[in-house]
Structures are given as structure tokens and as C-alpha cells.
Structure 1
Amino acid sequence: MASDSSNKAIYAAMGANLAIAITKFLAASITGSSAMISEGIHSIVDTVDQLVLLLGIRRSQKPADASHPFGYGQELYFWTFIVALLVFALGGGMSIYQGIIHLINPSPLEDPKWNYIVLAIAILLEGFSWIVALREFLPTKGKQNFWQAIKNSKDPTVLTILFEDTAAILGLFVAFIGIFLGHLFNNVYFDGIASIIIGIILAIVAVVLARESKGLLVGESAAPKTIANIRSLSKTEPGVKEVIRILTMQLAPQEVLLNLEIQFAQNLTGEEIALTVESLEIKIRQMHPEIKQIFIEAKSLAAARKTSQIPQ
């Protein structure tokens, strides 16, 4: 399930985005800035996204039942994918549309003072939200570089907030540059161009989020380090002759399903095989508490039982 750190990042981002959206639309109504309208839309979409993520977390915590014996953990991945679609369609699409409309029918900018004040406030609030998300993400990074950590992350909530806040900060700087250049050169088209660039940034972020969510949604394996540890642990058991295959599936950020195919030593009795399996399950759960479901397939079980029945 999603951790408390995920909820912390979501609530921080939602509060910041709601306040920012109100101030952006007020500034846009006063100055007529297309870039500020795009930024307002962006903040509204981000606020809706955080509500959708909270819905996903809540639904993913439903207990397992007959129709979903492994629980509802993957609902979180589904709703994260929906967030990516919202960012692309509403955030990116609407911003690009707004920019094109402004280029076709440009309107003169009014006093930019309010835009600059709002942008400064928004950068501070988005920066706070970004720092909260980054602090929650860094402990999961370990020794990996940022891209490896992003690729291997199994909790899409913090990742989504971090990406959205990064896009928001970039968008704010683009809006600032567009408004500043528009007034500096007395050219209304800079504002529309800034709006289109903001839309492109959002579209890129949406594609990255969709790609990461899709991998988890369709059945992504556990981290390579986890699989390597399972293999090493299995080989420490005296009764294990060979680890044939390890199959894992990420069911939720902190929930993994494991199917382990093992060849046991031929001289083991049925009781000894059972004790080996029990010992191995305990070791795996101690090192990886996120592995909730363990299925061990004993390839040589039948042979072992026959051997144990032969008179000595």
C-alpha cells in the first residue's frame, strides 16, 4: 500500500496548488495574460490529480476478497495512469489550445505587476511542495542515480507529485519569461508562445508518468536487487540444490507476490523439504517484508518422496 510519506507529499501539493490556482486566475483576469490562464489551468489540473491519487490510495487499501484474492493494490497504479491522462489532455492540451488561440487573436497585456507578484508567490509555494516530495523520494533512491531510481520506483504517488511539481516550476519560469519578453519588446505573441511551451512541458511529463504507470499496471517484477537477494537466500538453505526460476509481481508499492521454483536435494524426506520451505519463507520475509505472498514449487518433491520410502 502507499506509505504515509505518499499522503504527506500529496496533501502538501494539493494545498499549494489550490492556493496557487486561485491567485493565478485572479492575476489572469486583471492582466489578460494567456500564460497565466495556462498556469491557472495547470494548477487546477494538479489539484484534481492529487484528489485522484488519494482516491487511488483509498481504493487500493480494500481487503482481498473472492473476486480479488491478491487484494486491490494495483488500483493505485490504475488511478496514477488516469492522472497521467489528465495531465496530458487537460493540462497539456488546454495550455497548447489557449496559446494557439492567443496567437490567432492576440490581446494587449495590461500592467504586468500582478503577474510577477503571483508568479513569485507560486514559485515559493510550488518550491515548498517540491521539497516535500523530494524529501520523501530521496530515501528510496539509495545509491542509484535519479533516472534509475525513477525507473525502479514502485510507489507512483510520490513520483507523480515530484514530476508535477517539477513541471509546475518550469512552467512558472516559462510564464515569467514570456510575460517579461512580451512587455520588454511590446510583442503580445511571446505570451501565447509561453503558453504553448507550458503545454508541451506538461505533455512530456504526462507521457513519462503514463509509461511508468503502465509498467506497474501490466505486472512489473520486483526490483532486480530484491530478486538477487531471494536467489542468494535460497542457496543458503542446505536442502536447496538449485534455484530454477524466480517470478515476482509488484501488487502495490509495499506488496510483492513471489513464485519460487526450486530443485531440492534428492535425499531429502518430505518432512525435511517442508522444514526447508518454512525456513526459507521466514528468511525471505525477514529480509523483504514487502513480499506478502510466497509460492514455492518443488521440482523434485515427488522424487524425494519416493526416495524416502525405499527401505534402507
Structure 2
Amino acid sequence: MAEPNNTESVGTVIVAGLANLAIAIAKAVAGLISGSAAMLSEAAHSVADTTTEVLLYVALRRGARPADPVHPFGYGRESWVWAFIAALFTFVAGAGFSITHGVHTIRTGEHSGDYLVSYVVLAVSFAIESVSLARAVRQVRTAARRWDTTPARYLRLTPDTAVKAVFLEDSAALIGLLLAGLGVGLAQYTGDELWDGLASIAIGLLLLVVAAILARSNVSLLVGRSVPRRLRDLLEADLASLPIVDRVDTLLTMQLGPADVLVAAKVDFADDATGADIEAAADEAERRLAERYPGIRYVFLDPTRRR
């Protein structure tokens, strides 16, 4: 599945970036005042998310550049390069800091200090992150309806890794806030900073999972991923329905970018079809597929004999 444009994704990324920047500053101040490992880990989490949104914005802008003689199929794949770098940054910066700082807190048992500041910032952060996640959810649901699929399936298969990243990171952010609140609360209740450190480590592990999912998705697309099986079957049925087509021997598809799909097929045309008939059928195939599936940009048909 491919998206016809990235305007909505750009808006989603900008909203998420601004939200994460404001939250990162608030968490950092609260973490420094309270000395809470979980709060400082959450600050690192938000800094990583903010940097990720910047990289995703760059990905969307650079990936949307038009084709040129050097890159005849456009720059769509570059968006996945930047998205992969963003996933690596989340892995190294966010997860690494959270885990190491949590281990340090457990070993030293440093007191968390003023708990009230942490609770206030966590509550405000939760509200802001909820707004950002709501926008991402709205985009996912709209796209899922457009493709007549479920939101979960859309998220798993979409080549628009920017909206996928925002959705997963905002979801992880809300879970991380709950973990931080639990860690700070247990540390205050028991007087044992072990809970604060464990919460910090849990946040780091959560970031590792998100980074691994996003990295795997982007690598798959960079290697050259086909469209989902259901869409491929629809494309094959459309090609086979052309009047002079006897059968489609081979159908290959590839995501060239979040909004570009290449379709190449070996087609067995009717024996009595003329060269003009085949040319007209090829033009009809390209027009029909492009109208029905906006993400399809290139259609190549190779006439072949029946095997």
C-alpha cells in the first residue's frame, strides 16, 4: 500500500516534534530538580523522540523530491534511509541513556528528592502526548479505511514509516510516562530508589523494542519490498481482465517510496493480437491501475509466450 501524498504525514510529524520538544524541556527540569532517574530517562526519551521527528521531517521532504535523470524513479527510498537513522538514534541515545542511568541509580541508591514536581510534569506530559497520539491515530484510521483494511494491518504493512514511527513513539511515550510515574510513586512509598532505577531500565527496554521494530521495517523497504499480497492479487486480476490478455505469467511489484509503486508483468497476450492491440492494452493497463490505486506510478508489461 502506498500513500498518494505526504502532506498529512508532515503535519503529524510536526505536531509530534513540537510536543516532544516542550515535554523534553519540562522533564529535564523536573529530573534535575527531583534527581529522579525515571524522570531523567523520560527526558532522554523525549529528546530522542524530538530528534527522531526532525529526522523524519527531513525524510519526508527529501523523499518527496521529483525524479531526475540520475534518479529516474525518484527519491522515495531516501525517506527510509533517514527513517532508519532515526530508529538508530532512538536505540543509541534514548535507550542507552535510560538503561545506564537506571543501573547507576540502583547501584548508588540516590534519593529522588522533590516528588511533586515529577508528578506534575508527568501529568502534563501525558496530556500533551495524548494529543499528538490522537492525530496519528486519526491519520492511521483514515488511511486504513481508504485501503479497506484494519488500522493494525495498515500499520504493519504501510510504507509510510513516518506515521508508523510517530504512532509507535507516542504510544511508547505514554507507556513510558506510566512506568515513570509508577517508579517514582513506589520509590516515594517504600523509600527505596530501586523502583526508580527499575522504571528507568524498563523505559530503556521499551525504547529498544520500538527502535528494533522501526529499523526492521525500514530495512525491509530499503532492500526492496513488494506490495501486500491482497493488493498484488487485485493487480493481477485487473491485468488478467484486459480483453486480449490470456494470462499473467509473472507479476512483480516493488515499493519505490512511500507514495510510489512499480508494477512489472510478463503477460501472455492472445495469439491473434496485433502490435497495435498490445500497445493499446499496455496503455489501458497503466491508466486503469493508476486510477484505481493512486500509489502506482510505473507499469511495465512484457509480452511473453505461453509456457
**Normalised TM-score (structure 1):** 0.93
Alignment partner of 1:106 is 2:143: no
Alignment partner of 1:270 is 2:267: no
Paired residues of 1:242 and 1:263 also in contact (CA < 8 A): yes
SS of equivalent residue, structure 1 residue 218: helix
- Structure with larger RCO (C-alpha < 8 A, sep 6+): 2
Alignment partner of 1:141 is 2:110: no
The one-letter code matched in structure 2 to 1:5 is E
Give the equivalent residue in structure 2 for 1:168: 173
1:250, CA displacement in angstroms?
Answer: 0.5
Alignment partner of 1:17 is 2:20: yes
For 1:30 and 1:276, locate their aligned partners in 2 and report how far apart those are by CA, in whole Å.
71
For 1:230 and 1:188, locate their aligned partners in 2 and report how far apart those are by CA, in whole Å.
59
Paired residues of 1:2 and 1:252 also in contact (CA < 8 A): no
Report the number of matched residues: 301
Change in CA separation of 1:2 and 1:81 when aligned onto 2, cut-off 3 Å: farther
1:2, CA displacement in angstroms?
Answer: 5.1
1:245 to 241, 246, 250: 250
SS of equivalent residue, structure 1 residue 68: coil
For 2:101 and 2:9, locate their aligned partners in 1 and report how far apart those are by CA, in whole Å.
32
- Aligned pairs for 1:26-45 (under 5 A) are 26-45=29-48
1:65, CA displacement in angstroms?
Answer: 2.3
Give the equivalent residue in structure 1 for 2:156: 151
SS of equivalent residue, structure 2 residue 224: coil
Alignment partner of 1:70 is 2:73: yes
For 1:144 and 1:123, locate their aligned partners in 2 and report how far apart those are by CA, in whole Å.
29
Give the equivalent residue in structure 2 for 1:310: none
The one-letter code matched in structure 1 to 2:250 is R
For 1:176 and 1:2, locate their aligned partners in 2 and report how far apart those are by CA, in whole Å.
39
SS of equivalent residue, structure 2 residue 250: strand
For 2:197 and 2:267, locate their aligned partners in 1 and report how far apart those are by CA, in whole Å.
62
For 1:288 and 1:206, locate their aligned partners in 2 and report how far apart those are by CA, in whole Å.
31
1:294 to 277, 296, 299: 299
Alignment partner of 1:82 is 2:99: no
- Aligned pairs for 1:42-61 (under 5 A) are 42-61=45-64
SS of equivalent residue, structure 2 residue 294: coil
For 1:97 and 1:205, locate their aligned partners in 2 and report how far apart those are by CA, in whole Å.
18
Over residues 223-268 of structure 1, what are the superposed CA-to-partner deviations in whole Å (9 max), with x where a residue is unaligned? Answer: 2232122111112211001111111110111110111110001111
Larger mean Cα displacement after TM superposition, 19-28 or 283-292 = 283-292
For 2:198 and 2:125, locate their aligned partners in 1 and report how far apart those are by CA, in whole Å.
20
SS of equivalent residue, structure 2 residue 134: helix
Paired residues of 2:76 and 2:259 also in contact (CA < 8 A): no
Larger mean Cα displacement after TM superposition, 33-42 or 150-159 = 150-159
2:266 to 261, 285, 289: 261
The one-letter code matched in structure 2 to 1:288 is Y
For 2:278 and 2:149, locate their aligned partners in 1 and report how far apart those are by CA, in whole Å.
38
For 1:281 and 1:32, locate their aligned partners in 2 and report how far apart those are by CA, in whole Å.
62
1:189, CA displacement in angstroms?
Answer: 1.2
Larger mean Cα displacement after TM superposition, 279-288 or 246-255 = 279-288
Q: Which runs of 5+ in 1 are unaligned?
A: 302-312
Q: Which runs of 5+ in 2 are unaligned?
A: none
RMSD (CA atoms): 1.5
For 1:23 and 1:289, locate their aligned partners in 2 and report how far apart those are by CA, in whole Å.
42
For 1:275 and 1:62, locate their aligned partners in 2 and report how far apart those are by CA, in whole Å.
31
For 1:278 and 1:183, locate their aligned partners in 2 and report how far apart those are by CA, in whole Å.
71
The one-letter code matched in structure 1 to 2:203 is I
**Normalised TM-score (structure 2):** 0.94
Larger mean Cα displacement after TM superposition, 259-268 or 282-291 = 282-291
- Aligned pairs for 1:84-233 (under 5 A) are 84-142=87-145, 144-233=149-238
Larger mean Cα displacement after TM superposition, 282-291 or 70-79 = 282-291
The one-letter code matched in structure 2 to 1:237 is L
Q: Which of these two proteins has the greater Rg computed from alpha carbons?
A: 1
For 1:12 and 1:195, locate their aligned partners in 2 and report how far apart those are by CA, in whole Å.
26
The one-letter code matched in structure 1 to 2:287 is I
Change in CA separation of 1:248 and 1:51 when aligned onto 2, cut-off 3 Å: same
1:67, CA displacement in angstroms?
Answer: 2.4
SS of equivalent residue, structure 1 residue 245: strand
Identical positions, percent: 35
Change in CA separation of 1:268 and 1:2 when aligned onto 2, cut-off 3 Å: closer
1:129, CA displacement in angstroms?
Answer: 0.5
